[in-house]
Structure 1
């Protein structure tokens, strides 16, 4: 039986699948990291909002009870502006992290498509190799059958009685 003439192509296709899978693994890892960063950003934003809310509640209670003075009210305004600025920075960080997650998901989807394409290409060559192998086996069986028939015709004296 002859060797499959496209065996180097089989190797190239298999290597392309392996490379596409490595790239996909990198993209999945990058997406997971981005999702972790997004979760951290959301947690920081939530913690800051809760902390600011707790301070606001304590100050409102102190204001109602008359404990705060005019100077304290000025500090309260400065604190509120600072808390709002921090909240805005945290919101921006969360939005940036969400945008990055979306981009990484898109990149991962593209990598998945490349894996599917590379696998399809490799499978096409594998199917061709299988057909080739079957054809070669059929040819070999036909040659053996012809040789047996030829031997039967040429050597009638050696036939069993």
Structure 2
């Protein structure tokens, strides 16, 4: 199973990037980070549309799409692991997590998403979301392996 993390914006060196790198190194599942950005000034709606197109183009066409969105479902770590385990066990080869820009996801992402997940009701900096999602992916991997990292 290959995990794709497609995100708007380029990560700079610093604590958020270091935390992402730490959990990415721990993963045994293949993890690919794709960063996209729109460099021209456009309206908010046009920006969301362009970012959505770039995010979807950055991941395989047949990937299971998980959009990180405040309107999504909040899952416990156990339920998140269970969902990933089901996809893994049914032969899903690619799972793509999409992190939108400051204005949120464009309509194309919402239409294409197989699952929308919220990291709770608070708003998080987009660079921190990368680290948070990667930690949860690592945690899910450990839960599925029966490792004591996750203490339920």
- TM-score relative to the length of structure 1: 0.20
The structure whose residues are more often strand, as a share, is 2
The structure whose residues are more often helix, as a share, is 1
- TM-score relative to the length of structure 2: 0.21
Q: Larger RCO: Structure 1 or Structure 2 (Cα < 8 Å, ≥ 6 residues apart)? A: 1
